[in-house]
A and B are shown apart, each in its own frame.
Chain A
Amino acid sequence: MLKIDSLTVAYGQKRVLKNITIEALPGEIIALIGPNGAGKTTLVRAVSGTIPTESGQIYVNGKDLSRFSTAERARVLAVVPQTRQLGGAYSVEQAVMMGRTAYMSWLGRESQEDRDAVRLALEQAQLQDFADRSIAQLSGGEQQRVLLARALAQSTPVLLLDEPTNHLDLQHQTNLLSLIKRLSIEKELAVLMAVHDLNLVSFFADKVALLVGGELITFGTPQEVICAENISEAYQTPVEIIPHPVTGAPIIFPQGALEQK
């Protein structure tokens, strides 16, 4: 589905991503983890085509994205940006409709297909009751679902998310990730997601890519990647990892905090 092949990105002389190769299959959530500055957001932006790449290819369904126009790319690959405050100009439905830009003529006339896709996206993001509300009046969690619905309206096989749970509380983090998990399975989406919270990653991700200093250190299942050795090394802080008593998913404790007690 989504294949990132030996991708290298440079800002001027400095290489910020080196030779990254990651593949995501339909229905699979790939989590990008790593300390601040590891290149998670850069990778999301490079794959989405908003920053230029130095070398390497990105394929969706075997097609090289570098040959795609902006609109063609937006029909195979949608991005949910980081949570931020959205202002009041548009209703939820209007904002989600803008996700259909790649299908519209440049006049922006809506077709029946566009309206159907928006209705479906609103349902999937559980926003059908908010359609006419102004986006500024929504809570942080609801606004994040608007951005998710806008990306779903793009009807793409691949979804990229850039730290979608930042600034959300525990309940909204869990709800959003459960929703993404369910959609990835139902719609067979390949999901690539930069996330900070390692415990959430180990519950929701199918595969984990650990980035440090722009390099891919390991890529595998949460059990394989999230071990004391890898995490302590990558984040430069000792951690202890115990398996969840029911699911076996790895749970991370920072050791420094344990010693303080």
Chain B
Amino acid sequence: MIRKRPYLMNTILLLTAFVISIALGAVFIPPETIFRILAAQIPGININPDWPNSFSAIILAVRLPHTVLVVLTGAALGSSGAAYQGLFRNPLADPYLIGVASGAGLGAVFAMSLNWPTNLLGFYLVPAGAFVGAILTVVLVYNLARVNGMVPMTTLILAGVAVGAFASAMTSFLMLRTDLQLHRAISFLLGGSPMAGWNPVIAALPYMLAGMGMLSISGHMLNVLQFGEEEAKQMGLNVDRAKIFIIVTASLTTAVAVAFSGVIGFIGLIVPHMIRILWGADYRRLVPLSILGGGSALLLADMLARILLAPSTLPVGIVTALAGAPFFLWILRRAKREVFW
């Protein structure tokens, strides 16, 4: 059942996590009430509001937008992680580990130092800065890590760490030198406080849908690239065009996630890896499944972040790193035995 119906399983998982996430908080709101409150929003449906007024405000203005943003962010990180892994032909590529997330963070903070987002226009400036930062970083890391047309694990991680460290240092420098709201910027970089309300959701949505939509259709290109660029070209793939398409869309998707939720590591590593183990490595399926799985995984991490030290909230980036770093080491040990996957 689990192996045969991957889309169904992942959708059920995501919807379950979605409902639990809305239910959890300072006040527990039972799922049944959540459904009734949501249904009451649909025009033409009349439901007698037998719940406290505050419940619909909590759900509609706070928990629902927060949950939607977390799902979008996780989906973006999961799918761009899958795409980077395919592009680099390397199971350890993750937007965080290869420095792209840090590059996007630098771009975002740079944009914030110009204009901290107080209006909707400002919201669009931050992702643009993150996008430029992400693209520059991925191109730099890719070229630094490349040896004879291959991107070996060691050089990829080393280049990612070096470039990521440089970007983080530049980010800190920017935060100290400009009159940025330091506390908010730091907590943003930890994946701490996704901006509240519907504005970030509305601002992120078009980029996210475009980015993830384009990643979903790049599965065949990613499959063919697994045989190496030379063979991919001999099979008739326009390799340069495919690479640019994938780099731009994966970086766009990562950048938007970073711009609205901060630098969150390891989702792009763990999710595609689990899906590959359960449902195989065909990228035509791996990428869309990583969208669904990424949403569920980050929701789970976000719920833990809210529960563990309740009533205060941990930055979700800390939770993903605590779970992700051991996972990374496990993959590293496994990957040593694999020549090609």
Taking Cβ atoms with an 8 Å cutoff, the residues of A that contact B are 45, 48-50, 69-71, 73-75, 78-79, 81, 85-90, 94, 98-99, 101-104, 106-108, 150, 154
Check if B223 sits within 8 Å of A50, measured CB to CB: no
Bound-complex Cα distance A150 to B232 (A): 12
Bound-complex Cα distance A86 to B237 (A): 20
Closest to A107 in B: B217
Check if A98 sits within 8 Å of B217, measured CB to CB: no
Given A85-B339, A108-B219, A108-B221, A102:B231 Cβ within 8 A = no
Given A74-B234, A81-B231, A87-B340, A104:B220 Cβ within 8 A = yes
Check if B221 sits within 8 Å of A98, measured CB to CB: no
Check if A88 sits within 8 Å of B341, measured CB to CB: yes
Check if A106 sits within 8 Å of B234, measured CB to CB: no
Q: How far is the CB of A174 from chain B (nearest CB, A)?
A: 25
B341 touches which of A69, A87, A106 (Cβ 8 Å): A87
Q: How far is the CB of A50 from chain B (nearest CB, A)?
A: 5
Which of B107-115, B182-190, B280-288 sits within the interface? B280-288
Check if A154 sits within 8 Å of B236, measured CB to CB: yes
Check if B236 sits within 8 Å of A106, measured CB to CB: no
Closest to B231 in A: A81
B-chain residues with CB within 8 Å of residue A89 when the two chains form the complex: 226, 280-282, 340-341
Check if A78 sits within 8 Å of B234, measured CB to CB: yes
Bound-complex Cα distance A80 to B328 (A): 36
Chain B, range 217-274, C-beta contacts under 8 Å to A: 217, 219-221, 223-224, 226-227, 230-239, 242
A-chain residues with CB within 8 Å of residue B239 when the two chains form the complex: 70
Total number of B residues with any Cβ neighbor in A under 8 Å: 27
Bound-complex Cα distance A103 to B224 (A): 13
| B338 at interface, CB cutoff 8 A | yes
Q: How far is the CB of B38 from chain A (nearest CB, A)?
A: 35
B233 touches which of A70, A87, A99 (Cβ 8 Å): A70
Most buried by B among A71, A78, A89, A99: A89
Closest to A81 in B: B231
Given A50-B230, A89-B226, A108-B220, A69:B280 Cβ within 8 A = no
Check if A87 sits within 8 Å of B224, measured CB to CB: no
Check if B227 sits within 8 Å of A87, measured CB to CB: no
- Contacts A/B (CB < 8 Å), 21 sampled: A48-B234, A49-B233, A49-B234, A69-B238, A70-B239, A74-B234, A81-B234, A86-B340, A88-B338, A88-B341, A89-B281, A90-B223, A90-B282, A98-B223, A101-B232, A101-B235, A101-B237, A102-B236, A104-B220, A107-B217, A107-B220
Check if A50 sits within 8 Å of B220, measured CB to CB: no
A74 touches which of B223, B235, B280, B340 (Cβ 8 Å): B235
Closest to A87 in B: B340
A-B residue pairs, 7 tightest by C-beta: A108-B220, A102-B236, A74-B236, A87-B340, A89-B281, A79-B234, A71-B236
Bound-complex Cα distance A98 to B236 (A): 9
Check if B284 sits within 8 Å of A108, measured CB to CB: yes
Bound-complex Cα distance A103 to B237 (A): 10
Bound-complex Cα distance A70 to B233 (A): 7
Q: How far is the CB of B236 from chain A (nearest CB, A)?
A: 3
Most buried by B among A45, A94, A108: A108
Closest to B220 in A: A108
Q: How far is the CB of B272 from chain A (nearest CB, A)?
A: 12
Bound-complex Cα distance A36 to B156 (A): 32
Bound-complex Cα distance A87 to B242 (A): 22
Q: How far is the CB of B223 from chain A (nearest CB, A)?
A: 6
Bound-complex Cα distance A89 to B280 (A): 7
Bound-complex Cα distance A29 to B91 (A): 40
B-chain residues with CB within 8 Å of residue A104 when the two chains form the complex: 220
Q: How far is the CB of B110 from chain A (nearest CB, A)?
A: 34
Q: How far is the CB of B209 from chain A (nearest CB, A)?
A: 18
Check if A50 sits within 8 Å of B284, measured CB to CB: no
